[in-house]
Amino acid sequence: MKIEIGESLAVSYLKHVKRCVIYQTNWKSSSQWAFLGEVGDASEAFERLVKDGLLSFQGKTKPSFSQFLKQAEIDILGINLFEKKMYVMDIAYHEDGLNYKNEDRTIKSFKKKLLRSYLLLRSYFPEDYEYEIIFASPKVRPKLNKELEDATEALNDLRDDVLSKGAVVFKYIANDKFKDKILDPTLEASKDDADTNELFLRSYKLLSMPYTAPKPVKKKEYIADLDPLEEVEDYLEDEEE
């Protein structure tokens, strides 16, 4: 089984910081499900996004709305029932920093992924829930970081028009903000919890254990180790006592 440490951190973040009582990785819809929301509204939003060029597809054929949803997968999904909030997270981690060569294609894929998550929530979850859709990365190169910030702002600007149904906010969290808003709060909120399924936190606690160097073993003295002129006499005297 492949273990994605970024997804494990995101699950712990939603569980302990956002207080989601339901959380799942790699969430996909089923063809057997009925639409909970107004399918016409979500489908209309899909068509508008395609028409405006915010959703584009490789090849000549545009998928139907139902096909589009079937192809979609949410990396991490969380539900806070008390506050009636839905959370979607996608974490991208590259040791050298997120820095794709084709930035134009990267921005389009970024928008497409977040918009697809929005349409999934609109289709299968109550409209009276608030939606928070997050893309996060611990390290993003400066130029791409600015492009992703602008793309996130552009998505939020759609809320008064094509995305008017359902209260949604798109968030992009990277670099120092990733540490301040995701990593540190998760470690603090989960310090008194232990769950074998939370692999990121178990790894962190393993590294944080108070390891100490072993104490030196006291060496036993043998006759062969003693000074032959002085210490042997003391040794034999002790033995006679």
Give DSSP secondary structure letters for 81-99: TTTTEEEEEEE---TT-B-
Interval 220-238: pLDDT, tens: 555 555 555 454 455 445 5
pTM of the predicted model as reported, rounded to 2 decimal places? 0.77
Which of 15-24, 32-41, 46-55, 225-234 has maximum average pLDDT? 15-24
| Residue 186, Ramachandran bin (φ over 0: left; ψ between -120 and 50: alpha; else beta) | alpha
Q: Yes or no: say if 13 and 186 are a contact pair by the CB < 8 Å rule.
A: yes
Q: What pLDDT sits at residue 231?
A: 47
- Which domain range does residue 11 map to? 5-207
Is residue 145 domain-resident? yes
Is residue 27 domain-resident? yes
Is residue 231 domain-resident? no
Is residue 223 domain-resident? no
Structural domain tally of the chain? 1
In angstroms, rounded to a whole number, what is the distance separating the alpha carbons of residues 40 and 86?
Answer: 21
Is residue 182 domain-resident? yes
Q: Mean per-residue pLDDT for 28-57?
A: 79
In angstroms, rounded to a whole number, what is the distance separating the alpha carbons of residues 132 and 89?
Answer: 8
Strand partners, 170: 133
In angstroms, rounded to a whole number, what is the distance separating the alpha carbons of residues 35 and 98?
Answer: 36
Give the DSSP H/E element, type plus range, for residue 133: strand 130-137
How high is the mean pLDDT of the chain? 79
Is residue 213 domain-resident? no
Is residue 227 domain-resident? no
Interval 120-155: pLDDT, tens: 998 888 888 999 999 999 988 888 899 999 999 999
Is residue 132 domain-resident? yes
Q: What pLDDT sits at residue 95?
A: 57
Q: What are phi and psi of 131, to 5 degrees?
A: -110, 130
